Amino acid sequence: MSGDDFPTRLRQLREAHGMNQTDVVRAMNAMGFHLTRSSYSAWETGRAKPKRDNAVALADLLGVSIDLFLLDEEGESEQVRLVRGYMTKLSPEDQTTVEAMVRSLFERKIKNK
């Protein structure tokens, strides 16, 4: 999929599912959301971004991981930027400890699959 920004990804996914904007709005509203076509259009044009619960529902509706919607222009999620910000405030020793903890969690998760 080409395009690195959220509005482009959203439009491409919608079109890949053969849906128009009204179809998406109806589907979202059937899921219990109160979305207008103008609000959805603002997401596709970049004038606004959906709140997290809307983004999660969109990802589910379009059959993709929520991570696809949360990536920024550099391909980082909001969570990665947040952790990066915290890490820069830690001492080198504490950074090493955090890295070891994350590595351990990751390895445990892989073993449990």
Which residues have C-beta within 8 Å of that of residue 66, sequence separation ≥ 6?
Answer: 55, 56, 59
Residue 69 near residue 59, CB atoms below 8 Å: yes
Q: Which two tokens stand for residue 5?
A: 């920004």
- pLDDT of 107: 81
Given a cut of 50, whether residue 2 has pLDDT beyond it is no
For range 7-17, the mean pLDDT: 90
Domain residue limits, the chain: 6-70, 78-111
- pLDDT of 1: 38
CATH class for the region spanning 6-70: mainly alpha
- pLDDT of 39: 96
Residue 65 near residue 59, CB atoms below 8 Å: yes
Residue 66 near residue 55, CB atoms below 8 Å: yes
- pLDDT of 69: 67
- pLDDT of 65: 80
pLDDT single digits (tens) 64-107: 888 766 665 565 666 677 787 888 899 999 999 998 998 888 78
- For residue 7, give the nearest of 45, 40, 38 by alpha carbon: 45
pLDDT single digits (tens) 18-60: 999 999 999 999 999 999 999 999 999 989 988 888 988 998 9
Check: pTM over 0.85? Answer yes or no: no
Rounded CA-CA distance 39/25 in Å is 9
Identify the sign of the CA torsion 79, 39, 44, 21.
Answer: positive
